[in-house]
Amino acid sequence: MVLATKAAALFDAIAEGDVDTAVRALESHPGLSHKRAGKKNRTIYHACASGGQVEVLRRLCEHVWAHVPDELGKTHPGGAGPGRRFHPVLYRAVNSFDESGLTPLMLACKKGHAGAAQYLMSQEETLFV
């Protein structure tokens, strides 16, 4: 299966708000946590933000914290929290620009998805807006 096909299943689940399918797709293909797809070169975080899929976004970020090692090789099942450093995968993804020059936070704000914007801000202390 090529990356595009794997990514398509995950992006489809995000668009449909199917939390369980999205998490299973990310579990099966953890590299998708930082890959881009589609004609706008967006990450899964862009897709969640654009569609206002807060619950999918939350669960995917929790999965990254719990299962994707940080720069020290550690995982953090508790996720982001007071005094906890950002996760490098989420830092890169949340601060990445798509083909239109938008970050996931910018997309959430542009589309009026306050919940997605708030959640994204909770994941990183240095956001580019």
For the chain, what is the domain count?
1
| 28 in any annotated domain | yes
Q: What are 64-121's pLDDT values in tens digits?
A: 889 888 888 888 887 766 656 678 888 888 889 999 999 999 999 999 999 999 998 8
Angle at 63 between CA 61 and CA 69, to 5 degrees: 100
Q: What are 42-77's pLDDT values in tens digits?
A: 999 999 999 999 999 999 999 988 988 888 888 888
| 29 in any annotated domain | yes
Which are the contacts of 108, defined by CB distance < 8 A and separation ≥ 6? Answer: 49, 50, 52, 114, 116, 117, 120
| 54 in any annotated domain | yes
Domain of 54 in residue numbering reads as 3-123
CATH of the domain at 97: 1.25.40.20
| 85 in any annotated domain | yes
Print the SS3 string covering 56-98: HHHHHHHHHHHHCCCCCCCCCCCCCCCCCCCCHHHHHHHCCCC
| 128 in any annotated domain | no
| 129 in any annotated domain | no
| 77 in any annotated domain | yes
Whole-prediction pTM: 0.86
